[in-house]
Copies of this chain bind each other. A is one copy, B any other.
Amino acid sequence: MLKNNARQLTYLEALREAMQQKMRADNDVYLIGEDIAEYGGAFGVTVGMLEEFGSERIRNTPISEEAIIGIAAGSAITGMRPIAEIMFSDFITIAMDQIANQAAKICYMFGGKARVPMVIRTAGGGGTGAAAQHSQSLEAIVAHIPGLKVVMPSCPYDAKGLLISSINDDNPVIFIEHKLLYKNKKYTNSVPEEMYEIPLGKGDIKKGGSDISIVATSYMVQKSLEAAEKLSLEKGIDCEVVDIRTLKPLDIDIILNSIKKTGKLICVEEAPVFGGFMGEVVAQVSEKGFDWLDAPIKRVAGRNCPVPYSLVLEQEMIPGVERIEKGILDLLG
């Protein structure tokens, strides 16, 4: 960490501060999205920003995700640095042509002669009882598209630093926040007041360890840390928890270095396991780290179904601490 000052922020506060500071420093940065003005965003991330920056820069839109992204992209090519908010990550599907065929490809299709500096902030993940169309973890879909970068912070400190880097980046960045982290006091951490960047493409060891490597994303990093702590206390198992932070670019080295030490890898993500992003991690590790592995790589992930509504089913669909623990124990045999 850059600086260990005492100021504790929530994830949401850290995100808001990143945007405020960038907007104060750079007039080209603006926000566009649904209910982001008076309402302050469905999750409250932009509360107060209308008052400070006015409606010219906090641009409240009708419910038109495709246009939001198209407009953001068009303004980015012509000199602005938009931050577009898509209320739930499920709705990036409505804008998928503009994301995957336009924003992602413009730089390449034009031979590098245009750039598209824009951030798409969106709330992913389940656990809120919002069911199949408001709870998805769609990061695998965007991570596959060349031209995009994909960021998923797991804590307030990372949220601020990664959002600042994303705004500064000259490429379209899909920045996926987790709903269960926003206001969660359990996961506050100390966040420097000044602007700082966390480079895209650098993972982070959230907890060192020597017995097994856990690679996780977003909220699952927190769940993995809990599982690691329990296993340490209860069984003396020493897990290393690797937070990849950015899915694309992927810091494969931090993962390889970890398994060099541990010889074992478990990958944890919230999305349905089939075709999820961790397949990429497994494939790269299989190719590049085969000799260091002394057990099959295991995935702990969402079940292969839409996110169900009922609490009992939802908890079964999304991996929790117990499922992660069990995965680790199974792997350690």
Tell me the A residues contacting B by CB distance below 8 Å: 90-91, 93-94, 96-97, 99-101, 104-105, 108-109, 131-133, 140-141, 143-144, 146-147, 248, 250, 271-272, 274-280, 282-283, 286-288, 290-291, 295-299, 304-306, 308
What are the residues of chain B within 8 A of A297 when measuring CB–CB?
283, 286-287
Kindly report how many copies of this chain are found in the complex they form together: 2
Given A141-B141, A143-B275, A274-B143, verify A296-B305 contact (CB < 8 Å): no
Q: In the complex the two chains form, what is the Cα distance from A109 to B307 in whole Å? A: 9
Beta-carbon contact of B282 and A286 below 8 Å: yes
Q: Which residue from B91, B131, B280, B298 sits with its C-beta under 8 Å from A279? A: B280
Q: In the complex the two chains form, what is the Cα distance from A151 to B94 in whole Å? A: 23
Q: In the complex the two chains form, what is the Cα distance from A281 to B246 in whole Å? A: 23
Beta-carbon contact of B93 and A94 below 8 Å: no
What are the residues of chain B within 8 A of A276 when measuring CB–CB?
144, 280
Most chain-B Cβ atoms within 10 A of its Cβ — which of A97, A131, A290? A97
What are the residues of chain B within 8 A of A274 when measuring CB–CB?
143-144, 146, 248, 250, 280
Beta-carbon contact of B286 and A296 below 8 Å: yes
Beta-carbon contact of B279 and A283 below 8 Å: yes
Question: In the complex, how many angstroms separate the beta carbon of A109 from the nearest chain B beta carbon?
Answer: 5
Question: In the complex, how many angstroms separate the beta carbon of A107 from the nearest chain B beta carbon?
Answer: 9
Q: Chain B residue with minimal CB distance to A109?
A: B132
Q: In the complex the two chains form, what is the Cα distance from A201 to B327 in whole Å? A: 27
Beta-carbon contact of A132 and B105 below 8 Å: yes
Beta-carbon contact of B133 and A144 below 8 Å: no
Q: In the complex the two chains form, what is the Cα distance from A29 to B309 in whole Å? A: 33
